[in-house]
Structure 1
Amino acid sequence: MNTNHAMKRWLSPSRLMGIAVALFLIWFIVAFLMYPNLSLLLKTFIKDGSFTFEPFRQLWHSGKAMKSLLNSFILAFSLMITVNIAGVFLVMVTEYFDIRGAKILKLGYFTTLVCHGIILIAGYQYVYGPSGVVTQLLMRIFSDLDPNWFTGYGAVLFVMTFAITSNHVIFLSTALRRIDYQTIEVARNMGASEFRIITQIVLPVLKPSIIAITILNFHTGITALSSPMIQGGDHFQSINSIILILAGSEYSRGVAAALSIILGLATFLILTFLMRKDMDENFTAVSKVSSRIQKKKIANKPTNFLMHAAAYLLFVIYLLPLAIIFVFSFTDSYSIANGIISLDRLTLSNYIYVFSQPNGYKPYLVSLFYCLGAAVLVVVLCLIVARILHKSNNKLVTRSLEYATLIPWLLPSSMIALGLIYTYNTPKWLVGNYVLVGSIWIMLLAYIVVSIPFSIRLIKASFFGIDGSLEEAAKSMGAKTFYTFRRVILPMILPTALAVIALNFNGLLVNYDVTAFLYHPLLQPLSIVITSSVSENAVSSEVDTKAVSLVYSVVIMIISSISLYLIYGRNSNR
């Protein structure tokens, strides 16, 4: 009797569902998070059954590859300085000092939230590139100016400095608002100078956020791909751009794998340092605010003038790429090729083509399939994982599952992409002996993989913010587990889940780091079309493609703006 009861309990629908979910998660983690990266390591270090360092020997003797290593570290360390200088200045002129037109300035500084990634990189190229508006203007003034003046290390550093200050305008502004203004007032009443107040009161409160943002900027610099490819030219290529080139050749794939392993190791060490630094500095990040900070007027007139001039100069720098993209989307091929803005050449033909011709809207459909599909599927996956982390009492299971979901965060996108390419270019029983390389599914899977860490962090936080008594009350009234989840838990976390879908969708639309390695030649997404249109190798017959790519960019910016408003804007207005 007891045996039959135990059998019925083990064969209950909920138990079978739990087993199926557990088996699926184990398969997914092994097949797409662990095995491809381990396979990449084995293929790099083991050849003909014996251990070898041959790929690293080839790397050492490859001047171009070694230079790309040096370039990436130089760029990363440089960005730690330049982005902090620009970012802290933006926050101070919009939140701390009384600058005229601060609200307008803030709108300009926030444009990197809607015009980002490959769109922004391309926008800077249309402004400062060989046929850019600024370049054409300068060439009229300085006839001997080289049209390719905006290339190399300086150009990449300039573009990336102003492209990745979003973290400052979001997180550093929030940290600044937590400062107790009464502390600043007391310091002023005691005769402290403004410089001393900033260095001894303001910056210590901002320090934890600055440290976290600095390390993230270092990570962004060392894994940079799109800007070095577009603005770097032949003299300043990054690790990822060289990996992308080398991965296309069977002979040099070993060197590409070796580079990706070095990049992965550097990324792992950087993020490990970040997490330890976060734990060490967390105690300083909390500030009890009893009075809201009041903006300080700059009494010294020359200083006040210089601050205003610098603030509005940065405003122009931030706004110019977005404005050029928008204006050029209404112009013809001649205007784009020559960097000319003329009312006589404004046209709607680019928009008509994009929204009426199959070849025009095909990249949208491709991106919609990949980006929206991955955004929804990764949230469904993370809902399952987060539910297990929330309810399971087995520490070994929860820790193993949580660490597994962090794997894509600890590895660069190029290493993840190469792992999938080198592993699933032949039939593997893990995926039913199906060759994923060259199929439409490999990029979708990669999008899901790289989106997991960000998604799981937000969804997990939402689960742990739910009052446990609500679920207990539902169970006490006889509700089954799935019914409780569907009618009680899911409605509470649905806003977070929808927000994560929107944010992932926006990010994947302009994703180039993964897309460049895995896209199907016949199904090019928007990021590839936009990048191809600003390539130095683009010929005159591709000029119309440039015009169309600008329309794509404008529509993506509109989508991003709407998504951000739906996520943040409506809540802020309540």
Structure 2
Amino acid sequence: MNRSAGKLLRSPLFLIVGAVLLWFIGAFLIYPNLRLLGQVFLPDGNLSFIAVERLLSSDRAMASLRNSLALAIVLSVTVNAVGIFIVLVTRYFDIRGSKILSIGYATTLIYGGIVLVAGYKFIYGQNGIVTTAVRRLWPGLDAGWFSGMFAVVFVMTFASTGYHLLFLSSAMAKVDFSTIEAASMMGASNWAVLRSVVLPTLRPMIFAITILTFLGGLGALAAPQVLGGQDFQTITPLILAFASAPSSRDLAATLAIVLGLATIVLLMVMNKLEKGGTYFSVSKVPATMKKQNIENPVVNAVVHVVAYALFAVYTLPPLLIIVFSFTDAAAIQSASLSWDSFTLSNYAQVLTDYTNLWPLLVSIGYSATATVVVVFGMLFVARIVQRYRNPITSAIQYLLLIPWILPSTMIALGLIVAFDHSEWMVGNVVLTGTVSILAIAYVIVKIPFTMRVMQAAYASVPDQLEEAAAILGASTFTTFRRVLFPIVAPTAAAVAALNFNSLLDDYDMAVFLSHPLYQPLGIVIKNATTSETLNDATALTFVYTVILMVITGTTMYLVYGRSSRSRGSERRSRATALQPHSATPHTPTRTLVTTVAAPVSSGATQEK
């Protein structure tokens, strides 16, 4: 044990953080999952597979398993097809208006989850704006056309391409253009270059996105519940139905365990696929990517048409939501616009009526509380895990990644089962049904992402800074406060913004754990979708959606827009410094902060 490690072990801060961390891991990450397994396989203290037998004999449960598997497989194809296409037309091919297309495709980054699903239903559903307008021209159209598996696949396909926009676009920018140019000079066509050079380089990222998409389809809740109808029920909505009755809670737990096992197996498959091949650029100095012209005029025209058709699909729902948020219920019901129908009363009702404002305040309160707790805690934990490598810290790291390998449904059920009675490890109080249990769940699900990004931030800090502070006599806490924290603060702020943003419209956790008097916005929006007609609640839901889009858009700008501009300024600063007779000094601190902030972009969308 080196001197710095020994000094850390004697630090009161380390002892406090260690004690709280071990208690949290035992109480909320290990115990609830063991209780859930015990309820399924040890209901009376003896090994039993009755719950599994009941599940296998339930036609409804087996049908939901088949539907979930089919949805996951179909989405793996459709999401990749659309996602790869929009990345190619905005990052690889020279398409007219590509910047405008990028903005349209990115709309799903500023609203998602139950908000996006509800928006699509209000637009295309039985009484939706588009359906009402189209039926005037085509009276024979079935009003319920937008339901079942088709509607679920349609919505989830366009809702899930955010992974491609952020991750695959970033990978595309790193493709070595010199290899593309060499293939073109040898006579290869656009398609041959794309198939043989570009896509193989992007294959590891496509594998990762495919697994994430498959898991998202397997555990989908909002879209199947709102749009699936009676003919297309999947696992997670059925888990919710089973969990509402104590007599069938063991079936809910069994289905949740099936989801958990599927997640673990698929993550293992992903790691195996990534290790099965090596894809890299052979150029020592990769050339910057330049957009390629589509040589065939017919193909070029078809690609332009498809690109703008997808642009319309992406932008129509948010545009109509914004427009109709300023209209009354009658205009929404009739899908007609006139100057007389425009009003600000919807926004006035939400922002001035405490009853309507309450769900938004609850969501903000939960999101802010969970964000502050998890970021503050991971500031210390990530540093300890990153700085001091040993079996104990490695075990802690893997235990903190448990929420990443388990579906949110299993985590929620584990908390319900574990704390529906008094437990000594939480002060002999019953947490199930209280306000605090949802906040705990939010903290749990945000730990892995926050810890991994903060570890990357700390890894970018030179060890010499901490050693210099120690030589000058600074204590461990003083070194952290005066040296480390100012450097990683931009990353911590970015992570906090992303966590806060992703929890605002949460539905998957809230539907299991929310208090009846403290229901967040996701529950309220979901309840509005159950109405058979479009009414004032629909107008207020549009207002909630617009407010969430504004908050999310602002967050995305602060995280990505400002960091991109900072990196651009840094590159310009370096270029100026290389010019003759330049008086512009190089600023290592700024470079370090920019480098530390960069890892945020590598894991941002995993929360949406």
Q: TM-score, normalised by structure 2?
A: 0.89
Distance 1:220 1:295 in 2: 32
- Offset, 1:285: 7.4
- Offset, 1:87: 0.7
Moved more, 19-28 or 30-39: 19-28
Moved more, 51-60 or 208-217: 51-60
Q: Match for 1:22 among 18, 25, 28?
A: 18
Distance 2:487 2:525 in 1: 39
- Offset, 1:11: 13
Q: Determine what percentage of the aligned residue pairs are the same residue.
A: 46
Instruction: Find the counterpart in structure 2 of residue 155 from structure 1.
Output: 151
Instruction: Find the counterpart in structure 1 of residue 405 from structure 2.
Output: 410
Distance 1:80 1:69 in 2: 17
1:447-488 Cα shifts (integer Å, max 9, x gaps): 000111111110111111110100110110111110110010
Amino acid aligned to 1:554: V
Structure 1, unpaired ranges of 5+:
1-9
The answer on 1:481 being equivalent to 2:476 is yes
Q: How does 1:333-412 map onto structure 2 within 5 Å?
A: 333-393=329-389, 395-412=390-407
Q: 1:332 to 1:285 in 2, by over 3 A?
A: farther
Contact 1:120 1:163 in 2 (8 A): yes
1:389-447 Cα shifts (integer Å, max 9, x gaps): 12324x21111101101100110000000000011000011101100011100000000
1:113-169 Cα shifts (integer Å, max 9, x gaps): 112222111111122111112211221232122211111111101110110101111
1:68-117 Cα shifts (integer Å, max 9, x gaps): 11111101011111111101110111112111111100100111111222
Moved more, 514-523 or 333-342: 333-342
- Offset, 1:229: 0.7
Contact 2:220 2:236 in 1 (8 A): yes
The answer on 1:226 being equivalent to 2:222 is yes
Instruction: Find the counterpart in structure 2 of residue 108 from structure 1.
Output: 104
Contact 2:321 2:542 in 1 (8 A): yes
Q: 1:287 to 1:262 in 2, by over 3 A?
A: farther
Instruction: Find the counterpart in structure 1 of residue 425 from structure 2.
Output: 430
The answer on 1:557 being equivalent to 2:553 is no
**Number of equivalent positions:** 561
Q: How does 1:80-119 map onto structure 2 within 5 Å?
A: 80-119=76-115
The answer on 1:470 being equivalent to 2:441 is no
The answer on 1:322 being equivalent to 2:318 is yes
Distance 1:191 1:116 in 2: 44
Instruction: Find the counterpart in structure 2 of residue 34 from structure 1.
Output: 30
Q: Secondary structure at the match of 1:284?
A: coil
Q: 1:73 to 1:12 in 2, by over 3 A?
A: closer
Distance 2:345 2:141 in 1: 34
Distance 1:425 1:298 in 2: 62
Q: Match for 1:171 among 140, 146, 167?
A: 167
- Offset, 1:269: 0.8
- Offset, 1:302: 2.0
Q: 1:188 to 1:479 in 2, by over 3 A?
A: same
Distance 1:25 1:184 in 2: 50
Q: How does 1:182-193 map onto structure 2 within 5 Å?
A: 182-193=178-189
Contact 1:205 1:287 in 2 (8 A): no
Contact 1:118 1:511 in 2 (8 A): yes
Amino acid aligned to 2:551: I
Q: Match for 1:237 among 227, 233, 239?
A: 233
Contact 2:17 2:381 in 1 (8 A): no
Distance 2:42 2:230 in 1: 33
1:466-521 Cα shifts (integer Å, max 9, x gaps): 10100110110111110110010001110111111100011111211111101111
Q: Secondary structure at the match of 1:235?
A: coil
Contact 2:200 2:279 in 1 (8 A): no
- Offset, 1:296: 2.0
Q: 1:448 to 1:417 in 2, by over 3 A?
A: same
Amino acid aligned to 2:451: I
Amino acid aligned to 1:512: Y
1:312-341 Cα shifts (integer Å, max 9, x gaps): 000000001111211121111122234333
1:36-93 Cα shifts (integer Å, max 9, x gaps): 0110000111122221111111111211111111111101011111111101110111
Distance 1:322 1:552 in 2: 12
Q: 1:303 to 1:252 in 2, by over 3 A?
A: same
Q: Secondary structure at the match of 2:157?
A: helix
Q: Secondary structure at the match of 2:247?
A: coil
Contact 1:76 1:219 in 2 (8 A): yes
Distance 1:34 1:285 in 2: 42
Moved more, 376-385 or 283-292: 283-292
Moved more, 91-100 or 493-502: 91-100
Distance 2:452 2:332 in 1: 43
The answer on 1:271 being equivalent to 2:276 is no
Instruction: Find the counterpart in structure 2 of residue 420 from structure 1.
Output: 415
Distance 1:343 1:161 in 2: 35
- Offset, 1:265: 0.4
- Offset, 1:34: 0.6
Q: Match for 2:65 among 69, 86, 105?
A: 69
Instruction: Find the counterpart in structure 1 of residue 598 from structure 2.
Output: none
Distance 2:282 2:505 in 1: 35
Q: Secondary structure at the match of 2:535?
A: helix
Contact 2:78 2:157 in 1 (8 A): yes
Distance 1:379 1:26 in 2: 17
Q: Secondary structure at the match of 1:571?
A: helix
Q: TM-score, normalised by structure 1?
A: 0.95
Distance 2:339 2:539 in 1: 16
Q: Match for 1:130 among 120, 126, 130?
A: 126
Q: How does 1:202-221 map onto structure 2 within 5 Å?
A: 202-221=198-217
- Offset, 1:280: 4.1
Q: Match for 1:518 among 506, 513, 516?
A: 513
